[in-house]
Amino acid sequence: MKSTASHEIVIVGAGVVGLTTALKLAERGVVVTLLDRQQAGHEASWAGAGLLPPGDLTRAATPEARLRSYSHELWPAFASMLADRTGIDPGYHNCGAIEVASSETEHEFKEHVARWQAENIRLEHLTAAEIQRHVAEMDDRFTEAVYLPDFCQVRNPRYLQALRAACQQRGVEILEHVHALDISRKEDRISQVSLGDRTLPFDQICFTAGAWSAAVLEPLGCSIPVKPVRGQIVQLQLPTQPFRCVIELGRRYLVPRRDGLILIGSTEEDAGFAKHTTTQGVAGLLALATTLVPALAHAEVVRTWAGLRPGSPDELPLIGRVPGLSNAFIGAGHFRSGLQMSPATGTILADLMLGQAPAISLEGLQPNRFSQTTIDNGCPPVAESSAARR
Ligand SMILES: Cc1cc2nc3c(=O)[nH]c(=O)nc-3n(C[C@H](O)[C@H](O)[C@H](O)COP(=O)(O)OP(=O)(O)OC[C@H]3O[C@@H](n4cnc5c(N)ncnc54)[C@H](O)[C@@H]3O)c2cc1C
């Protein structure tokens, strides 16, 4: 491996994973070129809600908990470094979250509470009166809830702007609207990356193309089981912030921003690459909001949008070397948690590409974990089941 000073890495896909990886590499002296076929940070990473659930590395016993907890540890310093360095406040703050139970979500609620407790995450069981103290206008049929004081949020579009600016300050070359990307493979290596009129020098390449990762890798003979899972969001506006904490019911939630905006999220749909909102999706989210907080029936609907989460069969990301390729890495498949897990993922990918041991075990996150057998080109087959103003 070359010395770090002359090390060159190309990253394909400038979502939150590509941007954090680029920044972490550039901070260590690597020459990074980050490519996107459109404007950086305008896909799933922009569309997300910015929920950052807590973690505790000392008690994290699963791959998901390890990555989440490692990120939880990195977030405060990472967010303030971005704000100091770029002057763009990513809106990271500790807002707390209430998880409420309903008859439909009772089972899920109990599972979540047991998981938080097993992980030693701070949690308070709330009485009906205490629920009302956190959210004065919560419907009084919700009488069972827990409060997670260490739950945080980030204003993801601003986070992405800050990441982009920090990358540029560190000398990352960000090439957007790249349409003539041509990547060639020779035996077990990526041999060439060209942009039509320009061939990029590189020692290693990293694929961070989110829900499009399978399509990017497929022409190179590599099958990875990442597919899009659509999520819709409705944004409301109120004159002031009506409650401070996130409210979760099952896998859906309300996220209050400090300026009175509220995000209602989100659907989980297998709709291919169709990235539009639907009548049913929006109606369901509005119904969720008014079920939880009836007064929201009078709030102004500002906008709606949808994004494509990169889903994997076990809902966990693939982080590491692309199976069958000795000079290529991947960071994809973060599904519902890519924003939360981005500081850890970027740090880990930078460690791996520089031959350093990451701070946590990557057991359960390896890109080759879905392969039953190795096919001719050394790549795993696709698993059967896988088929503004903000
Ligand atoms: C509605 C919704 C709510 C969410 N809420 C949360 C949340 O609260 N908390 C959380 O942690 N996560 C959340 N997520 C998930 C999170 O947004 C994703 O896991 C994360 O953004 C994935 O980041 P990424 O960089 O892998 O993908 P993306 O942000 O999609 O970036 C991939 C990039 O690759 C580029 N690309 C694709 N193909 C090519 C190509 N051929 N050449 C060059 N570039 C290419 C794309 O243009 C894109 O910019 C949410 C997602 C959605 C949709």
Q: Predicted confidence band at 372 (pLDDT cuts at 50, 70, 90)?
A: low
Whether 210 contacts 311, CB under 8 Å: no
> What pLDDT is recorded for position 374?
37
Cα separation of 69 and 369, whole Å? 22
Orientation angle between helical segments 16-27 and 342-353, nearest 10 degrees = 50
Q: Which of 311, 333, 358 delimits the end of a domain?
A: 311
Q: Predicted confidence band at 296 (pLDDT cuts at 50, 70, 90)?
A: very high
Residue to mutate (ligand 1; options 212, 252, 318; most atoms within 8 A of CB): 212
- Tens-place pLDDT, residues 47-94: 999 999 999 999 999 999 999 999 999 999 999 999 999 999 999 999
CATH number, position 62: 3.50.50.60
Considering only CA atoms, which of 11, 19, 303 is closest in space to residue 158?
Answer: 19
Cα separation of 337 and 49, whole Å? 10
Q: Predicted confidence band at 371 (pLDDT cuts at 50, 70, 90)?
A: confident
Cα separation of 217 and 205, whole Å? 12
Cα separation of 258 and 111, whole Å? 30
| 13 and 119 both lie in a single domain | no
Rounded to the nearest whole angstrom, what is the distance from the C-alpha of residue 212 to the centroid of ligand 1? Answer: 9
| 138 and 22 both lie in a single domain | no
Tally of domains within the chain: 2
> What pLDDT is recorded for position 384?
30
CATH number, position 123: 3.30.9.10
In this prediction, residues 297-326 reach a mean pLDDT of 97
| 196 and 210 both lie in a single domain | yes
| Residue 212 within a domain | yes
Which residue range(s) make up the domain with 192?
A: 4-87+156-226+313-386
Closest C-alpha to ligand 1, atom 12: 337
| 217 and 235 both lie in a single domain | no
Is residue 35 within 6 Å of ligand 1 at its C-beta? yes
- Tens-place pLDDT, residues 120-147: 999 999 999 999 999 999 999 999 999 9
| 339 and 361 both lie in a single domain | yes
Considering only CA atoms, which of 51, 64, 56 is closest in space to residue 98?
Answer: 51
Cα-based torsion angle of the residue sequence 216, 221, 225, 226 in order, rounded to the nearest 10 degrees: 0
Q: Predicted confidence band at 2 (pLDDT cuts at 50, 70, 90)?
A: very low
In this prediction, residues 234-244 reach a mean pLDDT of 94
Q: Which of 311, 338, 365 delimits the end of a domain?
A: 311
| 161 and 23 both lie in a single domain | yes
Orientation angle between helical segments 342-353 and 63-86, nearest 10 degrees = 90
For residue 331, give the ligand 1 atom closest to its CA. Answer: 26
| 378 and 239 both lie in a single domain | no
Distances (CA, A) of 247 to 51, 99, 192: 11, 6, 48
Is residue 330 within 6 Å of ligand 1 at its C-beta? no
In this prediction, residues 382-389 reach a mean pLDDT of 33
> What pLDDT is recorded for position 131?
96
| Residue 109 within a domain | yes
> What pLDDT is recorded for position 375?
37
| 162 and 54 both lie in a single domain | yes
Whether 245 contacts 147, CB under 8 Å: yes
Is residue 44 within 6 Å of ligand 1 at its C-beta? yes
Sheet holding 152-153, edge to edge: 51-52, 152-153, 93-94
Considering only CA atoms, which of 81, 104, 97, 87 is closest in space to residue 24?
Answer: 81
Bigger pLDDT: 160 vs 378: 160
Beta strands in the chain (DSSP E): 8-12, 31-35, 51-52, 93-94, 97-100, 124-126, 145-148, 152-153, 173-175, 182-186, 189-194, 199-200, 204-207, 227-237, 246-249, 252-256, 261-265, 300-311, 318-321, 328-332
Closest C-alpha to ligand 1, atom 21: 45
| 242 and 362 both lie in a single domain | no
| Residue 92 within a domain | no
CA-based R_g, the chain, Å:
21
The pairing of beta strand 31-35 with beta strand 173-175: parallel
Whether 10 contacts 205, CB under 8 Å: yes
Whether 138 contacts 254, CB under 8 Å: no
Q: Which of 278, 311, 344 delimits the end of a domain?
A: 311
